[in-house]
């Protein structure tokens, strides 16, 4: 599988604040890649560097195998993005907005092609309505249509469900899945809506204070067969070593709040808790984390 985004040792400093700190990651073609972190974690700064809106202090960004600094125009022709709320012209119709942005991109698209693009995001029936009459969800979908007007291979969405009602959130979720699995696009999405991310993401990365603290396949983090447990014992350092050496979870780790996080088969949970107690680790806490939100909170608090 080819690599679409390749970030290496990316760093960005604002005065005394290091917004992004030696960040490295890769995104493969055809993935829905979820980029998660609390407010101020460095997500928006990273996205702006990916789009060359700001320059990193150090590090390297390659998109589609090309260096972003030296081949910016070529890269952006293959990239579409919506950063928070899309900038649209409320006094124009949806069709007129899309037509205008197509022309600004140097494209000569027929009326049929433009309406097909609007149909892709579920707006064909509202194409002739003025955008000022659109709901926030419809504006988000039109913003994505604008980002897709030049048929990019990579779509970057920064908080695409912000301010949406439940139906709008469902519409954006279905659109993301369609873009990836029907149209073969790579989607890089930053979002606070972890329950929604859990339903669309193939791969998840979590950052905190500009640094990567976790990256992995979404189905490994939230699995029907496995569960993450958060453990607090009388001696967490010694308990963590025992969990690793005993083979229950060789990748068990400490959380930022000093607890232990382990991934255990659901059928072995009761045996695992008994084994901890029998080996001299009285449990102050033994909490199951069954969702991506639980997991996220456990490693960022």
Per-residue model confidence as pLDDT tens for the chain (301 residues): 699 999 999 999 999 999 999 999 999 999 999 998 888 889 999 999 999 999 999 999 999 999 999 999 999 999 999 887 778 999 999 999 999 999 988 888 899 999 988 988 889 899 999 999 998 888 988 998 999 899 899 999 988 877 777 777 778 888 888 888 888 899 999 977 676 677 788 888 888 889 998 887 776 666 557 778 889 988 999 999 999 999 998 888 888 778 898 888 888 888 888 899 889 888 888 877 766 666 666 666 5
The reported pTM is: 0.75
Tokens 């033994």, located at residue: 286
Residue-level pLDDT at 224? 59
Residue spans per domain, the chain: 3-218, 222-300
Who's near 83: CB < 8 A, 6+ residues apart?
A: 44, 47, 48, 51, 158
Cβ contact 180:32 at 8 Å: yes
**Token duo for residue 271:** 């045996």
Question: Hey, CA dihedral for 275, 278, 280, 284, is it positive or negative?
Answer: positive
Cβ contact 106:150 at 8 Å: no
**Token duo for residue 99:** 């037509």
Second-level CATH architecture of 3-218 = 3-Layer(aba) Sandwich (3.40)
Question: 222-300 — its CATH code?
Answer: 3.30.70
Q: What 8-state DSSP symbol labels residue 38?
A: -
- Rounded-to-integer distance, Cα 259 and Cα 231, Å: 6
Residue-level pLDDT at 132? 94
- Rounded-to-integer distance, Cα 159 and Cα 141, Å: 13
Cβ contact 175:144 at 8 Å: yes
**Token duo for residue 128:** 């002739």
Residue-level pLDDT at 7? 96
**Token duo for residue 107:** 């494209």
Q: What is the three-class DSSP state of 273? A: helix
Edge-to-edge strand list for the sheet holding 226-233: 253-254, 260-265, 226-233, 283-289
Cβ contact 157:146 at 8 Å: no
Domain 3-218 and domain 222-300, same fold? Reply is: no
φ/ψ of 24, rounded to 5, equals -135, 135
């Amino acid at each position: 599988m080819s690599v679409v985004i390749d970030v290496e040792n990316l760093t960005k400093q604002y005065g005394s604040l290091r917004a992004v700190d030696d960040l490295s990651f890769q995104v493969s073609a055809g993935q829905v890649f979820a980029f998660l972190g609390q407010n101020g974690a460095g997500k928006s700064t990273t996205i702006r560097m990916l789009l060359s809106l700001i320059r990193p202090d150090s590090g390297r960004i390659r998109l589609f195998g090309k260096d972003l600094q030296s081949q910016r125009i070529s890269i952006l022709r293959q990239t579409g993005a919506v950063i928070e709320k899309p900038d649209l012209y409320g006094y124009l119709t949806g069709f007129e907005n899309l037509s205008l942005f197509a022309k600004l991109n140097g494209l000569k698209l027929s009326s049929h092609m433009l309406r097909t693009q609007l149909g892709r995001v579920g707006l064909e029936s509202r194409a002739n309505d003025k955008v000022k009459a659109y709901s926030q969800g419809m504006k988000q979908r039109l913003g994505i249509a604008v980002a897709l007007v030049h048929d990019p291979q990579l779509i970057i969405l920064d908080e695409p469900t912000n301010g949406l009602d439940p139906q709008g959130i469902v519409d954006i979720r279905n659109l993301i899945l369609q873009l990836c699995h029907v149209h073969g696009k790579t989607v890089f999405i930053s979002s606070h809506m972890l329950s929604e991310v859990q339903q669309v993401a193939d791969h998840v990365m979590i950052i905190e204070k500009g640094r990567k603290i976790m990256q992995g396949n979404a189905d490994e983090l939230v699995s029907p067969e496995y569960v993450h447990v958060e453990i607090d014992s009388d001696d967490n350092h010694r308990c963590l070593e025992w969990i690793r050496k005993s083979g229950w979870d060789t990748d068990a780790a400490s959380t930022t709040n000093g607890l232990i996080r382990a991934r255990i088969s659901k059928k072995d949970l009761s045996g695992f808790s008994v084994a901890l107690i029998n080996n001299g680790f009285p449990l102050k806490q033994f909490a199951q984390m069954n969702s991506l939100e639980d997991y996220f909170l456990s490693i960022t608090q």
